[in-house]
């Protein structure tokens, strides 16, 4: 009996803290939107963050995009060969990359690289009272710290996704046409035939949404860090876990709405 009530107690507590965090993230989003359009625009800070997110993540995105396209080609080749449809490898790779894997993998990679860094930076600023110092100097930290990171992520993640899509298809081409000898003309024609422009930009819209999620969660976790260096470490880990899970869950719902 005691164990049951204890379990229920713990369950209640985690549900409550989950709801509290969702509320907190929503409030942060609303105040970010409020501050975003209030002049002066912090254009320099935004560009600096774009550079930061881009530079941090480009290399891993290039690698994951290329190799994912390559392995997709390899796997689907073995499947399609069974009923002599090797020509469909190209369109399969292209559709998977643009609709699904490009945005999701890029979102996850940027979370690991830049989302975590956002939580760590803001967390450090919180525990060393730099955020309080901003308030004291009548400078709103949401405007200074959160808005540039979120705006930058919303723009840069789709850009990185476009790179990932392109390299994935290129990787698929390399494996399919160069290594596995699929007819080049059929490979390319099928891509044109089956991949719509809509597939590409729906994927990019997804990516923008993932950019919003990962930066919002990274900033929220950093902003609400407590308890010294240990707290910063925890905030960073939690930001990565929560943002990654959110991206995968959101991906399902976005897909259900879009396609």
Partner 1 sequence: MIRIVDLYKSFKSQKVLDGVNLEIEDGKTTVIIGRSGGGKSVLLKHIIGLMKPDSGQILVDDVDIAKLDDRSLNEVRKKFGMLFQEGALFDSMNVAENVGFSLREHTKMKEEEIRVAVAEKLKAVGLTGIEEKMPSELSGGMRKRVALARAIAINPQIVLFDEPTTGLDPIMLEAINQLIIHTQKNFNLTCIVISHDVESIFKVGHKIAMLYDGKIIEYGTPEEIKKSPNPVLQQFLTGSIEGPIHIM
Under rule CB under 8 A, residue 140 binds partner 1: yes
Instruction: With contacts defined by CB under 8 A, name the span among 99-107, 138-146, 157-165, 174-182 that binds partner 1.
Output: 138-146
Q: Residue 140 or 237: which CB sits closer to partner 1? A: 140
Closest CA to 156 of 115, 123, 197: 115
Instruction: With contacts defined by CB under 8 A, name the span among 63-71, 128-136, 179-187, 234-242 that binds partner 1.
Output: 128-136
- Single residue of 128, 184, 229, 259 touching partner 1 by CB under 8 A: 128
Task: Please tell me the count of residues contacting partner 1 according to CB under 8 A.
Answer: 13
Residues 6+ apart with CB under 8 A from 106: 57, 61, 64, 65, 157, 160, 161, 164, 207, 210
Instruction: With contacts defined by CB under 8 A, name the span among 98-106, 107-115, 133-141, 164-172 that binds partner 1.
Output: 133-141
Closest CA to 67 of 48, 41, 93: 93
d(CA 165, CA 55): 18
Under rule CB under 8 A, residue 153 binds partner 1: no
Closest CA to 106 of 208, 202, 175: 208
* DSSP conformational letter for 86: G
Under rule CB under 8 A, residue 132 binds partner 1: yes
Under rule CB under 8 A, residue 135 binds partner 1: yes
d(CA 244, CA 257): 20
d(CA 75, CA 98): 17
Q: Is there a contact between 124 and 14 (Cβ–Cβ < 8 Å)?
A: no
Q: Residue 21 or 130: which CB sits closer to partner 1? A: 130
- Single residue of 21, 75, 130, 237 touching partner 1 by CB under 8 A: 130
Q: Residue 142 or 242: which CB sits closer to partner 1? A: 142
- Single residue of 6, 129, 181, 196 touching partner 1 by CB under 8 A: 129
- DSSP assignment of 17-29, as one string? HHHHHHHHHHHHH
In angstroms, what is the minimal distance from the CB of 242 to partner 1?
A: 24
- Single residue of 137, 197, 256, 257 touching partner 1 by CB under 8 A: 137
In angstroms, what is the minimal distance from the CB of 186 to partner 1?
A: 53
Under rule CB under 8 A, residue 139 binds partner 1: yes
Under rule CB under 8 A, residue 17 binds partner 1: no
Under rule CB under 8 A, residue 256 binds partner 1: no
- In the block, residue with structure tokens 């060969």: 81
Tell me how long the chain is: 259
Q: Is there a contact between 175 and 73 (Cβ–Cβ < 8 Å)?
A: yes
Binding footprint of partner 1 on the chain (CB under 8 A): 124-125, 128-130, 132-133, 135-140
């Amino acid at each position: 009996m005691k164990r049951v009530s204890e379990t229920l107690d713990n369950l209640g507590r985690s549900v409550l803290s989950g709801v509290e965090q969702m509320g907190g993230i929503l409030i942060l989003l609303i105040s970010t939107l409020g501050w975003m359009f209030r002049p002066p625009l912090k254009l320099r800070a935004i560009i600096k963050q774009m550079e930061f997110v881009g530079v941090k993540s480009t290399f891993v995105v290039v690698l994951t995009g290329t190799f994912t396209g390559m392995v997709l080609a390899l796997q689907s080749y073995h499947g399609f060969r069974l009923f002599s449809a090797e020509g469909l490898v190209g369109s399969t790779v292209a559709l998977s990359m643009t609709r699904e894997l490009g945005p999701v993998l890029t979102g996850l990679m940027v979370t690991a690289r830049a989302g975590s860094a956002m939580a760590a930076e803001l967390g450090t600023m919180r525990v060393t009272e730099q955020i309080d110092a901003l308030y004291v100097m009548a400078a709103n930290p949401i405007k200074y710290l959160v808005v540039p990171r979120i705006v930058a992520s919303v723009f840069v993640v789709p850009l990185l996704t476009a790179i990932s899509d392109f390299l994935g298809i290129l990787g698929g081409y390399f494996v399919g046409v160069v290594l596995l000898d699929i007819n080049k003309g059929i490979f390319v024609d099928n891509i044109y035939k089956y991949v719509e422009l809509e597939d590409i930009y729906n994927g990019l819209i997804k990516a923008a949404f993932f950019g919003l999620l990962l930066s919002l969660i990274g900033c929220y976790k950093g902003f609400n860090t407590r308890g010294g260096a240990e707290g910063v470490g925890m905030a960073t880990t939690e930001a990565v876990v929560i943002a990654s899970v959110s991206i995968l869950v959101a991906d399902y719902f976005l897909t259900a709405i879009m396609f």
